[in-house]
Amino acid sequence: KVPTGERSPRGSLMHGKRIKGVLFDFDGTLTFPGALDFPAIKREMNCPLDIPILEYLETVPAELKPSLMKILESREEKAAEESLPNVGAEKCLLTLRDKGVLLGIITRNSFPSVRLALERFETVGLHDFAAVITRDDSLPKPHPDGVHKASERMGLAISELMVVGDFRFDVMAGKAAGACTVLLTNGRQSLMVPGDPEPDYTVACLEEILQLV
């Protein structure tokens, strides 16, 4: 639920700071959840279910990594071709853009898969984003490296940036960087676990973000 509090024009509720840019996770945030079947991908790659895929790839012998990356990229491409915009995603993005808020993407996916999935959007395209940070650009979330790189590309201070995502790694990365964080639940149970940092806000759908910015 979005916390209540005093709002400043076009600003978030966080310490009275004005948010000038919103950095979105991609899969399950801007796209409808479920396009990527992570358990199936892990099974095909022989990745333990309790280890994130990118972290698993760092542990495998160098000679195995290319074939495993090929599996991952193939699955990502197929998911991108079948993906759909999340509920309210295009309205949210267009409204923020029209307010003069800069838009960004931060994802553990590849750039080609993001570009392909954005072709499924009707009113928003790659050109609408001031920064697109993929696993090729930075250390993957939950590391804050990508958030810092996005703020640099967007020309904004971290305090002017809001990070929005549907998974705990999004909140962890945003918090570690010092940005405002929003957990998107898509109307489902939160995926945060005990010991994780608390998001500044929790919303059920993307359009609720418009109340914050």
In the 3-class helix/strand/coil scheme, how is 120-151 assigned residue by residue?
A: CCCCCCHHHCCEEECCCCCCCCCCCHHHHHHH
**pLDDT value of position 16:** 53
Task: Report the C-alpha gap between 1 and 98 in whole angstroms.
Answer: 25
Is residue 8 predicted with pLDDT exceeding 80?
Answer: no
Only one residue has tokens 């509720």, namely 13
**pLDDT value of position 210:** 95
**pLDDT value of position 158:** 97
The whole model's pTM is what?
Answer: 0.87
Angle between helices 111-118 and 65-82 in degrees, nearest 10 = 10
**pLDDT value of position 12:** 40
The pLDDT confidence band at residue 189, using thresholds 50, 70 and 90, is confident
What is the per-residue pLDDT across 131-173, written as a single tens digit (0 to 9) for each?
Answer: 999 999 999 999 999 999 999 999 999 999 999 999 999 999 9
Residue type, 32: F
**pLDDT value of position 1:** 43
Give the three-class secondary structure for 85.
strand
> Which of 13-27, 85-99, 167-181 is predicted with the least confidence, judged by mean pLDDT?
13-27
Is residue 125 predicted with pLDDT exceeding 80?
Answer: yes
Give the list of residues 6+ apart from residue 19 with CB closer than 8 angstroms, or none. Answer: 10, 11, 12, 101, 160, 161, 162, 180, 212, 213
Give the list of residues 6+ apart from residue 77 with CB closer than 8 angstroms, or none. Answer: 112, 113, 116
